[in-house]
């Protein structure tokens, strides 16, 4: 099971990542130029971007205890993650993929070359 502390550590390992408060003082992680993850309340969840709406739908259908959404995110390639249902490795993968969707193309190319 991943914790908020794990999310924080894993997010900050990504190139150019930094933490800031967002939406009611909740922690969020950004890379210039934009947010790539945040931790929300009601329902409590890690919010991450995914590659497409199709990917979102597959994730929601395949593991509804782990991945969910709210009306607010309809039409957006964003998934809410119940972190109590993911381990640290999967949390790292979700954060990395979200970062890849939101980071600059130059940063992603460098990441791909290094990994």
Residue 106 host element (H or E): helix 105-114
Q: Say which CATH class 4-106 falls into.
A: alpha beta
Q: What is the pLDDT of residues 65-114, one digit of tens each?
A: 999 999 999 999 999 999 999 999 999 999 999 999 999 999 999 999 98
Report which of 44, 60, 54 is spatially closest to residue 7, judged by C-alpha positions. Answer: 44
Q: What is the pLDDT of residues 31-76, one digit of tens each?
A: 987 999 999 988 889 999 999 999 999 999 999 999 999 999 999 9
Q: Is 78 helix (H, G, I), strand (E, B) or coil?
A: strand
| Alpha carbons 88 and 2: distance in angstroms, whole number | 5
Percent of the chain exceeding pLDDT 70 equals 100
Burial of 86 (0-12, 13-18, 19+ CB in 10 A): buried
């Amino acid at each position: 099971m991943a914790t908020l502390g794990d999310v924080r550590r894993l997010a900050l390992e990504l190139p150019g990542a930094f933490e800031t408060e967002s939406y009611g003082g909740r922690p969020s992680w950004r890379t210039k130029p934009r947010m790539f993850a945040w931790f929300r309340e009601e329902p409590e969840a890690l919010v991450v971007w995914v590659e497409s709406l199709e990917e979102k739908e597959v994730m929601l259908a395949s593991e509804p205890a782990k991945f969910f959404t709210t009306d607010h995110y309809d039409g957006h390639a964003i998934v809410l993650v119940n972190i109590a249902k993911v381990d640290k490795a999967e949390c790292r993968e979700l954060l990395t993929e979200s970062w890849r969707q939101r980071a600059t193309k130059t940063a992603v190319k460098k990441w791909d070359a290094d990994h």
